[in-house]
Amino acid sequence: MRRKIIAAMLTALVLGALCAGEQMMIHAVCGDALVRTAAILDDIRAGGLDAAAERARALDGDWDTRGGWLELAVDHKAVDDVRFALSRLIAAIESGDRESAMIYASELEGGVEHVIERQEMSLANVL
């Protein structure tokens, strides 16, 4: 009986550690993406489309690398929505369309926030 209790406790500890690690990874990746998206928005507002394009391409590359891990923990569609918003943002910036770039940057910001919301421990997410 004692072995079963110890095994159950160890299993619970391991699962808890994995969940905590997952939460920290998602917050690190998404927090970084939100900061970088804010910088892109600032560049677009200031008219610095070259700087915005460079930042957006860098974020796109990092999201492709680090975002793949998110698909293991978060809804695949939410992660893909961020990828698509990034693609639209880069295209708008490269074409010089500041208005569309602002819209897509805001969409990107909302998509990243949605990824964070999807992984939070809440009754809606658990059920």
Q: Give the integer Cα–Cα distance in Å for 86 and 109.
A: 10
Give me the mean pLDDT over the 98-119 stretch: 90
pLDDT band at 78 (very low <50, low <70, confident <90, very high): confident
As to burial, measured by CB atoms within 10 angstroms (0-12 exposed, 13-18 middle, 19+ buried), residue 60 is middle
Give me the mean pLDDT over the 36-48 stretch: 93
Q: Give the integer Cα–Cα distance in Å for 66 and 84.
A: 15
Q: Which of 27, 6, 25, 32 is nearest to 117 (CA)?
A: 27
- Domains of the chain, CATH where assigned: 22-126 (1.20.120.660)
User: Which pTM value belongs to this model?
Assistant: 0.79
- Is residue 29's pLDDT more than 80? yes
Q: What is the dihedral of CA 5, 7, 13, 16, to 10 degrees?
A: -100
Residue 69 contacts by C-beta under 8 Å, 6 or more apart in sequence? 25, 29
As to burial, measured by CB atoms within 10 angstroms (0-12 exposed, 13-18 middle, 19+ buried), residue 61 is exposed
pLDDT band at 107 (very low <50, low <70, confident <90, very high): very high
- Is residue 46's pLDDT more than 70? yes
More confident residue, 15 or 91: 91
